[in-house]
Amino acid sequence: MLGKPDLATDLCQEAMLKIIGGLHSYDGSAALTTWMTRIAMNVCLTHLRSEKIRRHLSLDQAPGSPGTAGKSHSGPITSGAPSTSIGASLASGELSGGERVSQDEERERVAHALSSLEPDQRAMLVLRDIRGLEYAQIAMVLGIAEGTVKSRLFRARAALRTALSD
């Protein structure tokens, strides 16, 4: 969701504090993991929304003016670890150097396109296509209807295709 391991660690700690602080309010209507995932996703989405607001506010300032240094921006999402199928191919030595470079470039292109999406669209793709959650689980995590999950996921995939074609 974030593309920055250090930031992810910080927000994970923040999510854990919220989980521990809110254990008394856990009612058992959803699986504990679903409840915890929802809290973590909300922390990430809140951060991404506030970062987007800060980015928009910084556009009012001229480049190099006081206050613009150190402004964060959402870069490509890269975890530094290859995906399982790619990692398995690399470990078995099946890919040549050129193929690895090509695959790394493609992974970077997808990560950049994913990072260009709205946080809510990115969340849908991460939960379904990366984490492998079912529609019902995503609906519980995000607090929306299952039909809404399907339509938003469709729009998120279309947005990703558009971003990749650009």
With bands split at pLDDT 50, 70 and 90, how would you rate the model's confidence at 56? low
Contact 43, 146 (CB under 8 A): no
Q: Does residue 88 carry a pLDDT above 70?
A: no
Residue range 107-158, pLDDT digits in tens: 888 888 888 889 889 989 989 988 889 999 999 888 899 999 999 999 999 9
Max Cα separation, the chain? Answer: 54
pLDDT given at position 135: 93
Q: Kindly state the DSSP code that residue 126 receives in the 8-state scheme.
A: I
Domains in the chain, ordered, with CATH? 5-61+105-165 (1.10.10.10)
Helix (H) or strand (E) holding 164: helix 146-165
* pTM higher than 0.75: no
pLDDT at residue 91 greater than cutoff 60: no
Q: What is the pLDDT of residue 43?
A: 92
- Residue pair 20/94 in contact by the 8 Å Cβ criterion: no
